[in-house]
Structure 1
């Protein structure tokens, strides 16, 4: 992972929020991300595909559902950047985390 690839991937608000949500929750399905981000399925899926293509995310399929998580092979410096971003910008995803908490049992999946 080179810095340009990472920063291009994070340069969009929806993608950055998705990354930070996944950092805090470890794994989410597309429907959870739709709820948290308050976006349509096509828009969320398009952003997730770009993050996967950039090497930031991995996915797994379980039946009809697709679950995303941060790529387990990301270098340490990427985790450090994401951690610092989350710690110093808690308000940035506060509403998104609150929306996600409305569905604690993952009833969409």
Structure 2
């Protein structure tokens, strides 16, 4: 990630913000888990995750047919603190409940 302005622009989109907050809570998720939790189409979720990856905010790892995303280990401390504060304010209880109810979660079954 290049600078704070780039980071905050990434957070200005609700889908990207929710993806990052889910990653903060879950550490690593597959695209299909984001799709289920956020109730959005796969292309839309993938486009947003790709943007976050291109900015260096998240990293991806292919495991067979699944692509798993996690927060970049290179995120500066201030960026993690911003995400943690946003997580406390946002809570995401509805999104996390949908994710918890997802049958055959690949992150659980692939580990």
Q: TM-score with structure 2 length normalisation?
A: 0.90
CA distance in 1, matches of 2:99, 2:73: 23
C-alpha distance 84-104 of structure 1, shift in aligned 2 (>3 A): farther
Unmatched segments (≥5 aa) in structure 1:
none
CA distance in 2, matches of 1:11, 1:52: 16
Paired position in structure 1 for 2:68? 67
Aligned length: 107
CA distance in 1, matches of 2:35, 2:27: 16
Spell out structure 1 runs of 4+ moving beyond 3 A. Answer: none
**Structure 1 residue 105: Cα displacement:** 4.7
Q: TM-score with structure 1 length normalisation?
A: 0.92
**Structure 1 residue 88: Cα displacement:** 2.2
Provide, for residues 37-72 of structure 1, a one-character-per-residue CA deviation record: whole Å limited to 9, x for no partner: 100110000000001111110000001110000001
**Structure 1 residue 87: Cα displacement:** 1.1
Is 1:101 the counterpart of 2:104? The answer is no
CA distance in 2, matches of 1:48, 1:89: 19
Paired position in structure 2 for 1:21? 22
Q: CA RMSD in A?
A: 1.6
CA distance in 1, matches of 2:19, 2:27: 11
